[in-house]
Structure 1
Amino acid sequence: MKLQEKEISYTISNSYSTLNELTKSTKNVWFVCHGMGYLSRYFLRYFKGLNPDENYIIAPQAASKYYLKSEFKHVGSSWLTKESTEMETENVMRNFDAVFKAENIPEHLNLIVFGYSQGVSVAARYVAKRQLPCTQLVLHSGGIPKELQAEDFAFLKAKVSLICGTDDEYLTDERLQSETEKAQLLFKDNLLVMLFDGKHEVNVELINGLV
């Protein structure tokens, strides 16, 4: 008996969610990547405090969905796992490409790329792999992919914010130190480290203060 694992390519459809409208009054476009267990439409609630006339928020949806608990009632999603990570990363990158193509964001607007928790990994990878000229990169309570190096961000002139809670249950002192050191190596003088009193949670107050 010979077991083989083969690979195919095919086209899928996926959703994404937006908040507010893209108009002549828009100043900032946010591309926000949710954490594991979220759906994009619910993740947008953290951005409702932003001025709706000046801020347009785009939330891509992770394609891999699952039931969160045994009741089979609430659905969440995940960007990546340790299984076939390289191939799945490319699928996510193509997902993001399709969203940007559909939205056709005007180049004169401020582009803010935001990742929370697991969303940090895909946000950082997308900026690096596509050499995306954003004005801000926000890495909130998530790990920076190990394979990314300083040369991957040599092009980037953006302000980079590393945000996390001091009581984050997924973050030891050693992990915080190593993540901060890696971010400093990658982004140098563009980096701003922002710590807050709190657990592994989205900090709306800090989000509202970014613009």
Structure 2
Amino acid sequence: MPAQEHHIAVTRSARYFQLGALSAETRQVWFVCHGYGQLAAYFIRHFATLTDADPGLVVVAPEGLSRFYLRESANGQGRVGATWMTREDRLTEIEDYVGYLNQLAEATLAVVSANTRVTVLGFSQGAATVSRWLARARFRPARLVLWAGAFPPDMDFQVATQLMRNLPVTLVCGDNDEFVKPADLEEQRQFVRRLGVEPEVLQFAGKHTLHADVLRQLHASTF
């Protein structure tokens, strides 16, 4: 007789990092989701120059719920990364991170004014993560930024269309990205167009990474 698969809901701690102090004076909140194999503590450093220059900006970087060693080492000092999901038990992992991100957003936005502008940015694997999350989020952002990543191909087209209605979308990618080729970027652009949105496309000279000048440009465009 084959083993039967079961699931049980448990309580666990989820980690996130934050730049800036939440208050009634907060004008912008950015939720930024890292890519595969990254940790939020390092990912959020890319946004420090923005919050240093703008006290009205708060950046919140949640971390994927699954961590693993990127490289094994004999002394246990190997680098660690996090992932939002894998193909194993993927639907349960999606449920878990959507619930986690909704809880984090609810707690964050309860502190700020209703007029605070919210940007959601997903980098690489984080782009698919934020797309799935926003389809079931309890708030609507002012802008969605998909950086070196795309909508998940299995996302229901009708759900995606509803999500994208009147939602400004920016696609960002380096011109020498190892994982996102020009054809991939154009395919994503056409996909977003089919959802009824004309995306802004920003490119920079670089690879599969964030870029300080583009981040400053995105920040400046929200005023």
TM over 0.5: yes
Does residue 69 of structure 1 match 2:77? no
Counterpart code for 2:67: K
The separation in 2 between residues aligned to 1:87 and 1:151, in whole angstroms, is 19
Aligned identity (percent) is 30
Match of 2:129 among 97, 109, 122: 122
Rounded to whole Å, the distance in 1 between the matches of 2:140 and 2:182 is 32
CA contact under 8 A between 1:112 and 1:134: conserved in structure 2?
yes
Structure 2 residue 192 is matched with structure 1 residue 183: yes
For structure 1, which runs of at least 5 residues remain unmatched after alignment?
A: none
Q: What secondary structure is seen at the aligned counterpart in 2 of 1:183?
A: helix
Work out whether residues 28 and 118 of structure 2, in 8 Å CA contact, stay in contact via their aligned partners in 1.
Answer: yes
Spell out, residue by residue over 1:68-112, the C-alpha distance to the aligned partner (whole angstroms, 9 max, x if none): 212242211000111222211110011112212322243210000
Please name the residue that 2:90 is paired with.
Answer: 85
What is the letter of the counterpart of residue 3 of structure 1?
A
Deviation at 1:187, TM superposition (A): 4.8
Distance 2:212 2:25 in 1: 23
After TM superposition, give the deviation of residue 148 of structure 1 in Å.
4.0
Number of aligned pairs?
210
> Cα offset for 1:142?
0.9
Classify the secondary structure of the residue corresponding to 1:98. helix
Q: Distance in 1 between matches of 2:25 and 2:65?
A: 32
Counterpart position of 1:108: 115
Alignment counterpart, residue 135 of structure 1, candidates 114, 132, 142 = 142
Q: After superposition, where does 1:1-211 map in structure 2 within 5 Å?
A: 1-50=1-50, 51-71=53-73, 72-73=76-77, 74-103=79-108, 104=110, 105-130=112-137, 132-146=139-153, 147-149=155-157, 151-154=159-162, 156-189=165-198, 191-211=199-219
Distance in 2 separating the partners of 1:45 and 1:63: 20
Cα pair distance change 1:131/1:21, threshold 3 Å: closer
Structure-1 separation of matches of 2:158 and 2:191: 9
Task: After superposing the two structures, state which structure 1 stretch, 115-124 or 37-46, moved more.
Answer: 37-46
CA separation of 1:2/1:55 partners in 2, compared to 1, >3 Å: closer, same or farther?
Answer: same
CA contact (8 A) 1:64 1:77 kept: yes
CA RMSD of aligned residues (A): 1.8
Unaligned runs of 5+ in 2: none
C-alpha contact 1:126 1:132 (8 A) present in aligned 2: no
What CA distance in whole angstroms lies between the structure 2 residues aligned with 1:181 and 1:85?
27
What's the TM-score, normalizing by structure 1? 0.91
Deviation at 1:162, TM superposition (A): 0.5
Give, as a single letter, the amino acid of the residue that structure 1 aligns with 2:33.
Answer: C
Once the two structures are overlaid, the 10-residue window that deviates more, 109-118 or 142-151, is: 142-151
Which deviates more, 116-125 or 1-10? Answer: 1-10
